[in-house]
Amino acid sequence: MRGLGVCARRSDEVSNVRSRRRFSGGSRSALRGWGGAVAVVAIAGVLVANASGWPAGAVADTDSHSGRATFYSLGDSGLGNCSFPEVPADRFYAALGPEDYDHAGGCGGYLEVTGPLGTVRVLAADKCPECESGHLDMSPEAFAMIGPLADGVIPITYRGVRDPDGVGPVRVRVKEGSSAWWIGFLIMDHGNPLASVEYLADADADEWRGLARAEYNYWLQEDGAGPGPFTLRLTDIYGHQAVVEGIELSPMVDQVTNVRMYETDASSPTGSASSASSASSASSPAPTASVPGPAESGACAATAAVNTMWPTGFQATVTVRNTAAAAAGSWVVTWIVPADVTIGTAWNATVGQSGTAVTASAPVWSPTLAVGETVSIGFNADRPIGPGTVEAAVAGSITLNGESCVGF
User: Which tops the pLDDT comparison, 54 or 38?
Assistant: 54
**Highest-pLDDT range among 236-245, 295-304, 372-381:** 236-245
86-140 confidence digits (pLDDT tens) = 888 788 999 999 999 999 999 999 999 999 999 999 999 999 999 999 999 999 9
**3 state SS of 289:** coil
Query: Phi, psi (5° rounding) for residue 19?
Result: -110, 145
- Whether 339 and 363 have beta carbons less than 8 Å apart is answered as no
Edge to edge, the sheet with strand 254-257 lists 207-210, 194-202, 230-236, 240-247, 41-49, 254-257, 171-174, 183-188, 218-221, 212-213
**Distance (Å, rounded) from C-alpha 201 to C-alpha 106?**
27
305-316 confidence digits (pLDDT tens) = 887 777 777 888
Indicate if the pLDDT at residue 406 is higher than 50.
Answer: yes
At residue 169 the predicted structure's pLDDT band, cuts being 50, 70 and 90, is confident
Mean pLDDT estimate for the chain = 77
**Highest-pLDDT range among 8-12, 187-191, 372-376:** 187-191
Indicate if the pLDDT at residue 270 is higher than 90.
Answer: no
Residues forming CATH 2.40.40.10 domain(s) in the chain: 1-278
Q: In this prediction, what percent of the chain has a pLDDT beyond 90? A: 42
Q: What is the pLDDT of residue 40?
A: 44
Q: In CATH, what number does 1-278 get?
A: 2.40.40.10
Residues forming CATH 2.60.40.290 domain(s) in the chain: 300-407
Identify each DSSP E strand in 128-260 by its residue range.
135-138, 154-160, 171-174, 183-188, 194-202, 207-210, 212-213, 218-221, 230-236, 240-247, 254-257
* Least confident range of 205-209, 284-288, 293-297, 347-351: 284-288
User: Which tops the pLDDT comparison, 364 or 22?
Assistant: 364
Q: In this prediction, what percent of the chain has a pLDDT beyond 70? A: 74
pTM summary value = 0.60
Instruction: Say which amino acid occupies 37.
Output: A
| Domain 300-407 = CATH 2.60.40.290 | yes
User: Which tops the pLDDT comparison, 143 or 57?
Assistant: 143
Q: What is the pLDDT of residue 20?
A: 42
* Least confident range of 322-336, 355-369, 380-394: 380-394
Q: Which helix (H) or strand (E) holds 258?
A: none
**Distance (Å, rounded) from C-alpha 93 to C-alpha 62?**
18
At residue 186 the predicted structure's pLDDT band, cuts being 50, 70 and 90, is very high
Cα torsion 117, 66, 160, 281: sign: positive
At residue 389 the predicted structure's pLDDT band, cuts being 50, 70 and 90, is low
Residue whose C-alpha is closest to residue 56's, from 108, 100, 112:
100
62-85 confidence digits (pLDDT tens) = 899 999 999 998 876 667 999 999
